[in-house]
Every structure is written in structure tokens, then in C-alpha cells.
């Protein structure tokens, strides 16, 4: 016998129904995911370049610590040695330099409104050291008039701040020249050698008190450290200069180095980024800065740095939020790369959710309509058979109608519907069984008549 079918239940009908209901939200989501890389921008890079200073300076030493910490999360930090803060700023501003990060000395910014640069944090205080030779105590910078002064290398932050202070005291012009005073551009190593040999009468340094050259000069016979007795006045004139006290013996108690208290001026080292630094790296860098600098030193209390104070440029927005609220929940509980990507996508996911929400709201009504429409289609088959059954003398299609209802019963046995529609579903099965029983009864009643006629 030819196999009949109602045509209402096809293979994998349940899955197809599900797809028909959800195809629009799913398609929208799929298109959004495919378009995500173009809409949210490039992924976080695995390599960044930081400009520091000379290999013997504190900036280079700190950059090595940053490199070790960033390597834990798969970030390769390339360290580029430079003449100092001025060159670092120039590299940050240059589009083709590849430098997106630098440690910069406070007070060296020529234009603090540059939109290309943003501070991530202030890191620590680094004093201005003025060493001089001679028996006469130098109490003011004006006492150095007519002397040979090492002011730092070209492109260094030391040279920039030294010239500022010397100009204010009418000792040098903006290019370091003066009819009476000779300014010499030397790097740190050259300046140390020159002051120790007597080739210069004084030398400026901007360097950490832990640098070996500081203890070396403090213990060198004939070389003395100038104390800025007017430190408060300098601070009023230049807020980026903090007044710090180097206490007697703080560097070496056994040798009592230094031999007396000294007042020093100290700009603050800044971690500065260009506008092309990927924002996902900012929390990682601030976290590294906190790990490196939070312990404090002989010039600052533990926890004083890193900070949003004493910054050279306006704060980076992401860094500012980190200092205010700490790391986001993503960075607290997820690996860096996962957190970075999700954090990058959240600005895109918000409008996507706004778009998907109305589509998702249409799904339940659509689902209810599809369930009811399926039940109604089965009822339509049942009604057609029932109407034929009600017609007197209609016996030619009894066998075919019985097969149709048996097929319908088989299909209904395979159908899965939600609990909320079970009443309608079981009513359909009861009605199907009822009509089928009537058909079979009609068939039994008609069989003797057919035999008698034969």
C-alpha cells in the first residue's frame, strides 16, 4: 500500500521550526560578530616600545622591571635608549618612531596641551642634584656665576631643568651661553668624570638617590652637594618641583652619607603615552607601575606613588578610572587577553543588545503562533476527514481516510510541544482517535453490505 502522509510533519520538523523562529536574531548576531573586528578596531598588540634614557639611568632600570611584569601577560616591551626626556617626548610625537610609551621627567613639557600625549601616572620623585667643587659653600645658584657648569646632554631632562633654573637666576640664556658662565653639555657619566677631575666647577644631575653615582660623588673628597635653601620659593614658582629633605646618613648610616641634611628640589618622573597606545594596555601598565613604585623610597612614603598628582600631561581617561575605581571586574577574574577583548567589545555590544532586544521580544509570540498554527493545521486534516464521514454513502475513501488518520496519530506521537499547550495537544489526539474509531466502525458496517452485493 502506498504510504500516506499528512504533509504536516517532515524530517527534523522540530529543528526547522526552531530555526524559523530564531533565524532573524541569530542572523543579526552572526553578522554583528563577523563585523566586530572592523567596528571595534584592532586587537591589543603584543609588542610596544618604551623610550627611557641612558643604560646607566634609573629610567632604563625601571623599564626592565616593566618588561618583566608585562611579559607575564604575553606583552613584549622593547626598550629604546635615548638622551633623555626631551628626546623621549619627540619620539612620542613622531608618527614613524614606533614609540608609544616613555618615562619623562617632570617640568620638561614644552606644551602641556598637546592632545597626542597623556599621562598614565606619576611614578616617583627624582631630585635635582647640584654638585660643586671648592671650599666656599654654595648657598644659591647665583654663587655659580662665572663658573664652568655641566648641565646635562642635549635632549635630556637634566639640561632642560638646569637651563630653566640658571635663566631664572640670570646665569645663562636659553641656549646655555653667558659671557661670564660656561655651560657644558655632558651626559651623566661625562659629568661625573668632569666634576671629579675638576674640568667643571659644578654639575647638574636629575637622578634617583639610589643611583651609584650619587653615593660616589657624596663620598668624593673635594666635591660637595648644594642645599636649596630657597626650595619653598622655587616650589611656588614651579609647582612641578617638590621640596624634599635628604637626611643625614640616610644613604649609608655606617659612613654617615650624606654628612648633613640637605634641601633638594625634585620633579616627578611620569609614565606618558601617545594617543596610539592601545587602551587595553593601560590597566596593565598602571598595575605594573603600582607593583614597582608602591613600596616607596627614602624620598616618599609607601603608597604615595604611582599617583594622579604631579602629572606632566592631562591624565589618560582609562588610567584615571583605574586610579579611581581599581581594575574592572573583567581584569580581576579573567586572563588579560580575554578581558581586553571583551572590554573592547562592550561599547559595541550595548547598541547590539539594543537592536536584538526587540527581536528577542518577538520570539515568544512567534513561537506561540507557530505551535498553535501547527495544531490548527492538524485539525484541518481532521475536519476534512470528519466532513467526508458525515456525508451519507461516502465509502470509497474510507480506507484512505483511515490511513491518513493513522499517519496523523503516528506523527502526533513524535511531536514535542511545551507543557502550556498540552491541553490543546491532547484534545487533538482524543479527537483524532474519536474520528478514527468512527471511520473504522463505518468500515466494519459497510463490509457486510459489500459482500452481500458481491
What CATH number does residue 95 fall under?
Answer: 3.40.190.10
How many domains does the chain fold into? Answer: 3
The pLDDT assigned to 11 comes to: 43
Consecutive sets of 10 residues in the chain, 454 residues long: mean pLDDT of each? 46 50 62 58 83 90 96 94 92 93 88 79 96 93 94 91 92 68 92 96 93 92 95 92 94 91 95 92 94 90 93 92 85 73 66 66 66 77 81 71 82 74 80 84 71 53
Q: How many residues does the chain have?
A: 454
Asked whether residue 98 is domain-assigned, the answer is: yes
The pLDDT assigned to 25 comes to: 61
Asked whether residue 344 is domain-assigned, the answer is: no
The pLDDT assigned to 29 comes to: 62
Cβ contact 310:243 at 8 Å: no
The pLDDT assigned to 159 comes to: 93
The pLDDT assigned to 12 comes to: 46
Q: Does residue 326 come out as left (phi exceeding 0), alpha (psi in the -120 to 50 range) or beta?
A: left
Asked whether residue 1 is domain-assigned, the answer is: no
Asked whether residue 201 is domain-assigned, the answer is: yes
The pLDDT assigned to 442 comes to: 79
Check whether residue 131 and residue 262 sit in a common domain: yes
Neighbours of 214 (CB within 10 A): 22
Asked whether residue 245 is domain-assigned, the answer is: yes
Check whether residue 84 and residue 202 sit in a common domain: no
- Distance, CA of 172 to CA of 160 (rounded, Å): 12
Asked whether residue 347 is domain-assigned, the answer is: no
Neighbours of 434 (CB within 10 A): 12
Q: Which residues, other chains included, contact 391 with Cβ-Cβ below 8 Å and sequence gap of 6+?
A: none
The pLDDT assigned to 1 comes to: 37
Range of the domain at 228: 127-266
Asked whether residue 429 is domain-assigned, the answer is: yes
Nearest CA to 251 out of 301, 302, 213, 292 is that of 213
Check whether residue 317 and residue 367 sit in a common domain: no
R_g of the chain, CA atoms, integer Å:
42
- Cell readout for 166 is 640658571
Model confidence pTM above 0.85: no
The pLDDT assigned to 16 comes to: 52
Asked whether residue 93 is domain-assigned, the answer is: yes
DSSP letter at 227 equals P
Check whether residue 142 and residue 209 sit in a common domain: yes
Characterize the bridge pairing of strands 128-133 and 223-225. antiparallel
- Cell readout for 451 is 459482500
Cβ contact 385:404 at 8 Å: yes
Please name the helix (run of DSSP H) or strand (run of DSSP E) that holds residue 398, with its range, or none: helix 398-414
Amino acid at each position: 500500500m502506498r504510504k500516506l502522509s499528512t504533509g504536516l510533519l517532515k524530517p527534523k520538523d522540530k529543528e526547522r521550526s526552531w530555526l524559523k523562529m530564531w533565524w532573524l536574531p541569530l542572523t543579526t548576531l552572526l553578522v554583528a560578530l563577523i563585523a566586530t573586528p572592523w567596528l571595534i578596531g584592532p586587537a591589543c598588540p603584543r609588542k610596544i616600545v618604551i623610550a627611557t634614557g641612558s643604560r646607566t639611568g634609573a629610567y632604563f632600570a625601571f623599564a626592565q622591571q616593566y618588561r618583566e611584569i608585562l611579559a607575564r601577560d604575553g606583552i613584549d616591551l622593547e626598550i629604546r635608549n635615548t638622551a633623555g626626556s626631551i628626546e623621549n617626548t619627540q619620539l612620542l610625537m613622531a608618527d614613524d618612531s614606533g614609540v608609544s610609551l616613555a618615562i619623562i621627567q617632570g617640568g620638561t613639557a614644552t606644551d602641556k596641551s598637546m592632545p597626542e600625549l597623556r599621562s598614565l601616572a606619576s611614578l616617583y620623585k627624582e631630585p635635582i642634584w647640584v654638585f660643586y667643587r671648592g671650599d666656599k659653600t654654595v648657598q644659591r645658584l647665583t654663587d655659580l656665576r662665572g663658573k664652568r657648569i655641566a648641565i646635562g646632554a642635549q635632549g635630556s631632562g637634566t639640561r632642560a631643568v638646569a637651563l630653566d633654573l640658571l635663566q631664572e637666576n640670570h646665569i645663562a640664556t636659553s641656549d646655555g651661553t653667558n659671557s661670564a658662565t660656561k655651560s657644558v653639555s655632558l651626559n651623566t657619566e661625562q659629568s661625573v668624570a668632569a666634576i671629579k677631575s675638576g674640568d667643571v666647577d659644578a654639575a647638574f644631575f636629575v637622578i634617583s638617590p639610589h643611583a651609584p653615582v650619587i653615593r660616589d660623588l657624596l663620598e668624593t673628597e673635594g666635591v660637595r652637594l648644594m642645599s636649596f635653601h630657597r626650595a619653598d620659593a622655587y616650589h611656588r614658582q614651579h609647582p612641578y618641583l617638590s621640596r624634599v629633605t635628604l637626611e643625614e646618613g640616610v644613604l649609608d648610616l655606617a659612613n654617615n652619607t650624606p654628612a648633613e641634611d640637605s634641601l633638594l628640589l625634585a620633579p616627578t618622573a611620569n609614565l606618558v603615552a601617545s594617543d596610539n597606545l592601545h587602551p587595553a594596555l593601560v590597566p596593565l601598565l598602571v598595575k605594573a607601575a603600582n607593583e614597582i613604585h608602591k613600596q616607596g623610597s627614602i624620598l616618599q612614603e609607601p603608597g604615595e606613588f604611582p599617583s594622579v598628582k604631579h602629572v606632566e600631561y592631562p591624565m589618560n581617561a582609562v588610567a584615571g578610572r583605574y586610579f579611581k575605581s581599581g581594575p574592572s571586574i573583567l581584569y580581576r577574574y579573567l586572563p588579560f587577553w580575554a578581558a581586553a577583548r571583551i572590554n573592547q567589545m562592550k561599547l559595541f555590544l550595548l547598541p547590539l543588545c539594543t537592536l536584538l532586544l526587540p527581536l528577542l521580544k518577538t520570539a515568544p509570540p512567534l513561537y506561540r503562533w507557530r505551535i498553535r498554527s501547527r495544531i490548527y493545521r492538524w485539525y484541518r486534516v481532521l475536519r476534512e476527514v470528519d466532513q467526508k464521514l458525515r456525508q451519507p454513502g461516502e465509502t470509497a475513501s474510507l480506507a484512505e481516510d483511515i490511513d491518513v488518520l493513522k499517519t496523523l496519530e503516528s506523527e502526533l506521537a513524535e511531536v514535542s510541544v511545551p507543557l502550556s499547550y498540552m491541553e490543546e495537544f491532547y484534545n487533538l489526539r482524543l479527537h483524532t482517535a474519536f474520528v478514527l474509531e468512527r471511520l473504522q466502525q463505518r468500515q466494519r458496517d459497510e463490509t457486510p453490505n459489500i459482500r452481500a452485493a458481491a
